[in-house]
Amino acid sequence: MSFFESLKAVAAQAVELVQNNPQVVSGIQKIIEDNGGVSGIVQKFKDKGFTEAASSWVGTGDNVNIGAADVMKVLGSDSVKELAGKVGLDSEATANLIGNLLPMVIDKLSPDGKEPSGDLTSQLSSLASLFTK
């Protein structure tokens, strides 16, 4: 299986999980809101040494995913455990899911490489519809 096929399979699994478990979307939304919106969470990842990855999410090129350990390092285990409890996964699986979904969400919220302005909640709600169709 090629790298692209593996990536496509992971993305398909993530989307299927989100469709079957809408708490994932609200959890990602809460994480973004609790960290100061798109610019706040991007800055938090940059501050913890993930500048290239975080910049790729806002930029117009390919998104760089981050691993579960990196998610835990940046967001903290309490934040990840809280979402894990809501979605019925262990912390590691939840952190891995966040590492795969957060880049896609930030990318969609920052079209043309610009961070969003305006009402983040409505933007996140409309984004949720992409996962729950």
Mean pLDDT calculated for residue range 104-131: 67
Per-residue pLDDT at 45: 96
How many beta carbons lie within 10 A of that of residue 46, not counting itself? 15
- CATH fold of 3-131 reads Arc Repressor Mutant, subunit A (1.10.10)
Per-domain residue ranges for the chain? Answer: 3-131
Per-residue pLDDT band for 72 (boundaries 50, 70, 90) equals very high
Per-residue pLDDT band for 70 (boundaries 50, 70, 90) equals very high
pTM greater than the 0.85 cutoff: no
DSSP H helices in the chain: 3-20, 23-34, 37-47, 51-58, 68-75, 77-87, 91-109, 120-131
